[in-house]
């Protein structure tokens, strides 16, 4: 019975790959029932199959029934272990990120972006400004942040008041970070594990007070400056590559316009859009406090502040 284990291995790899090639694939929600308890489904981003060691994957009953031979299970696991990312093409995985939101004007740009991501079943990361979520349009914006979490988007902190961390004392930095994280956790119930410094800037004297991985970018769309949807979309299509982190701002309608243009094209080109944490997990890089990350490729991990 050599064929059965091979079939099982193939099936596992296929379902594993399908689980993370989320964009455009309606199978993306397929995940091991054991990994995501139903009760937390709404508040926890579905980490999909990325977080699931393959030997923890629960076989569907029909397969499990035919898989009474424990040897075949071992062979399946060993075969899969050689390919920890399944069939995902790392040259086609990127992380879109959005800063400064939720939008606080009468634009609904954050929700427009979420509409597109939801439609194409893609993931992204929102670096939320705590004050915008808690104090500005609190009724709507808390719902927006909750929706981000419910859709499986990753939420990082962009500090509480969009502070320039270069100008604060160590205590001031720690307070901005803590307040910013708490604002998100109060809404979503989820812990916040990544941050993006406003202006991409910190100071060497106080950066230890941040105590989190600092997520920068390698593709700057300059969407806030051009406010030109076509240009923003074009920068992404020309510059983003496997492992890239793309900087945008969800507070502009022109950025929402760009997302309506670019997401269908990226999906068409076979790209998978994942959260920042998923991106680094796929690349096998552990995100550590005190380090800067501009992308998930080897050169993307930095120990000194980013200058731009």
Chain residues 160-199 in contact with Ni ion, contact rule CB under 5 A: 198
- Size of residue set near Ni ion by CB under 5 A: 3
Task: Give yes or no for a contact between 217 and 246, defined as CB atoms under 8 angstroms apart.
Answer: yes
Q: Interacting stretch for Ni ion, rule CB under 5 A, among 56-64, 91-99, 134-142, 233-241? A: 91-99
Catalytic residue among 99, 100, 103, 218: 99
- CB nearer to Ni ion: give 8 or 195: 195
Check: CB of residue 213 under 8 Å from CB of residue 288: yes
Residue 199: CB minimum distance to Ni ion, A: 7
Contact code string over 100-119 relative to Ni ion, x by CB under 5 A:
x-------------------
What gap in Å lies between CA 30 and CA 17, rounded to an integer? 11
User: Do you find a cis peptide bond into 102, omega within 30 degrees of 0?
Assistant: yes
| 154 sits near Ni ion (criterion: CB under 5 A) | no
The reply to whether 162 belongs to the active site is no
Tell me the Cα Rg of the chain. Answer: 20
The residue within the footprint of Ni ion, chosen from 23, 99, 173, 210 (CB under 5 A), is 99
Torsion from C-alpha of 197, 257, 44, 245, nearest 10 degrees? -40
Strand order in the sheet with 292-293: 214-215, 292-293, 301-302
Question: In Å, what is the CA distance from 302 to each residue of 217, 219, 287?
Answer: 12, 16, 11
Q: How far is the CB of 99 from Ni ion (least distance, A)?
A: 4
Quick note: the x/- pattern for Ni ion over 192-211, rule CB under 5 A, is ------x-------------
Does position 223 interact with Ni ion (CB under 5 A)? The reply is: no
Q: Which is nearer to Ni ion, 251 or 296 (CB)?
A: 251
The pair of three-digit structure tokens given for residue 273, joined into one six-digit string: 């859009």
Of 103, 249, 250, 257, which is the active-site residue? Answer: 249
Token reading at 270: 């076979």
249 tagged catalytic: yes
The span from the CA of 56 to the CA of 203, in Å, is 42
Instruction: Indicate whether 250 belongs to the interface with Ni ion (CB under 5 A).
Output: no
Residues that bind Ni ion (CB under 5 A): 99-100, 198
Query: Which active-site residues does the annotation give?
Result: 99, 249
């Amino acid at each position: 019975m050599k064929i059965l284990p091979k079939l099982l291995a193939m099936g596992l790899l296929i379902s594993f790959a399908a689980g993370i090639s989320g964009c455009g694939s309606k199978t993306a929600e397929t995940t091991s029932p054991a990994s995501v308890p139903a009760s937390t489904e709404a508040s926890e981003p579905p980490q999909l199959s990325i977080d699931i060691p393959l030997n923890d994957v629960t076989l569907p009953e029909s397969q499990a029934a035919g898989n009474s031979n424990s040897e075949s299970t071992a062979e399946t696991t060993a075969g899969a272990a050689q390919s920890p990312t399944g069939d995902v093409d790392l040259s086609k995985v990127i992380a879109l990120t959005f800063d400064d939101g939720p939008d606080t004007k009468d634009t609904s740009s954050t929700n427009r972006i979420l509409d597109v991501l939801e439609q194409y079943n893609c993931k992204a990361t929102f670096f939320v400004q705590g004050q915008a979520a808690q104090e500005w349009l609190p009724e709507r914006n808390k719902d927006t942040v909750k929706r981000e979490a419910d859709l499986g988007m990753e939420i990082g902190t962009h500090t509480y008041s969009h502070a320039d961390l270069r100008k604060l004392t160590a205590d001031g930095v720690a307070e901005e970070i803590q307040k910013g994280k708490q604002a998100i956790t109060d809404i979503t119930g989820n812990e916040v594990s990544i941050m993006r410094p406003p202006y991409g800037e910190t100071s060497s004297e106080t950066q230890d007070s941040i105590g989190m991985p600092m997520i920068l970018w390698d593709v700057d769309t300059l969407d806030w400056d051009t406010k030109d949807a076509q240009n923003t979309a074009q920068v992404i299509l020309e510059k983003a590559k496997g492992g890239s982190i793309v900087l945008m701002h969800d507070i502009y309608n022109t950025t929402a316009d760009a997302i309506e243009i670019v997401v269908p094209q990226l999906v068409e080109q076979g790209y998978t859009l994942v959260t920042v944490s998923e991106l680094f997990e796929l690349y096998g890089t552990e995100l550590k406090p005190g380090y800067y990350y501009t992308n998930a490729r080897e050169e993307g991990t930095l120990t000194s502040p980013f200058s731009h």
